[in-house]
Amino acid sequence: MARTKIAQRSIDQATLTRVSRRELLKLTPLLVLGAFAIPSFQESLLKKGLGFSDWASARLFRGGHLAPTFADSEVTPFEKFPINDYDVDDPGVIFENWSLTVGGLVQKPGEYRLPQIQSLPRIRQNTRHVCVEGWDVIGRFGGARLSDFLAMIGADTSARFIAVSCADDYYETLDMATALHPQTLLCYEMYDQPLTREHGAPLRLNIPTKIGYKQAKYLTELKVTNVVNKVGYWEDQGYSSFYGL
């Protein structure tokens, strides 16, 4: 449908100038985005933007929706499962002495040893592990459902967060909805073998609905809490707090 010209109308030059200027001024709200270029505003604006993304992500999370699982043939070979750490590959955990210190809003706080965790039903799953850097691998993980462990310790599941600390001073928090998700594991096995030192022995988190950095290794402490001051090692440097996949 071609445009057709109607009979020529006329506009006074001064009017055209005035109208053009007004139309240009209508665009000035765009300059608000310039705040992102001003150093003193930039950090807080970006933090708010990321916070909004996290809020939207939390709204999108469905506790009943499972992460894809894979056949054994699709699992990445163990030697090709990368090891990322922020400090050391092996923080020197002494397994004979190891226990998980449980505290916070729970009925049965105290020290929990690996056999107690291993007495809970063992789940094995082939799931995708996604690193924030952009790579991913499919791993074979085994462990107890975190939700089963939370029941064992009499956790208050109306609380908002699980906070974990690690032997290498790494730390993370997990929203309760994700903690209760059926695929969230207190993982003590990889590829049907006990966790190796580099992969977080004796206990780590395996959370197929979360980005890799949330899946803390070398767990030493677990707390159920409503208050979180430090979200996680990477989050406190500016990464996303929720980062559900």
Partner 1 sequence: MSSTSFEIVRAKGDETESVGRVVYEHPFVVRLCHWLNAISLFVMVGSGLQIFRAFPSFGAKIPQKDLLNWPKTFAIGGWLGGALQWHLTFMWIYMATGLVYVGYELFSGNYRQVLFTHRDIPGVWPMIRHYFFFGPKPPQREAYNSLQKHAYTSAIALGILSVLTGLAIWRPVQFSWLAWFVGGFHWARLWHFLVMWAILAFVFGHLIMVVLHGWNNFVSMLTGWKKDPEY
Task: By CB under 8 A, tell whether 90 contacts partner 1.
Answer: no
- As measured in angstroms, the least distance from the Cβ of 130 to partner 1 is 7
Among positions 139, 208, 212, 232, the unique one binding partner 1 when judged by CB under 8 A:
208
Q: Of 150, 138, 57, which is closest to residue 105 (Cα–Cα)?
A: 150
Among positions 27, 38, 94, 227, the unique one binding partner 1 when judged by CB under 8 A:
27
Task: By CB under 8 A, tell whether 38 contacts partner 1.
Answer: no
Interaction residues for partner 1, span 67-86 (CB under 8 A): 67-68, 79-82
Burial (CB count within 10 angstroms: exposed 0-12, middle 13-18, buried 19+), residue 152: middle
Bridge partners (DSSP) listed for residue 224: 104, 162
Among positions 74, 89, 133, 169, the unique one binding partner 1 when judged by CB under 8 A:
133
Q: Could you count the other beta carbons within 10 Å of the beta carbon of residue 10?
A: 5
Q: Could you count the other beta carbons within 10 Å of the beta carbon of residue 90?
A: 15
Strand pairing report for 219-225 and 100-104: parallel
Task: By CB under 8 A, tell whether 209 contacts partner 1.
Answer: yes
CA 39 to centroid of chain Cα atoms: 28
- As measured in angstroms, the least distance from the Cβ of 161 to partner 1 is 20
- Residues 6 or more apart whose CB falls under 8 angstroms from that of 93 comprise 167, 197, 201, 202, 218
- As measured in angstroms, the least distance from the Cβ of 101 to partner 1 is 30
Task: By CB under 8 A, tell whether 108 contacts partner 1.
Answer: no
Which tokens belong to 103?
């505290």
Site residues for partner 1 per CB under 8 A: 1-6, 8-14, 16, 19-21, 23-24, 26-27, 30, 33, 36, 45-50, 52-53, 57, 60-62, 65, 67-68, 79-82, 128, 130-137, 208-209, 234, 237-240, 244-245
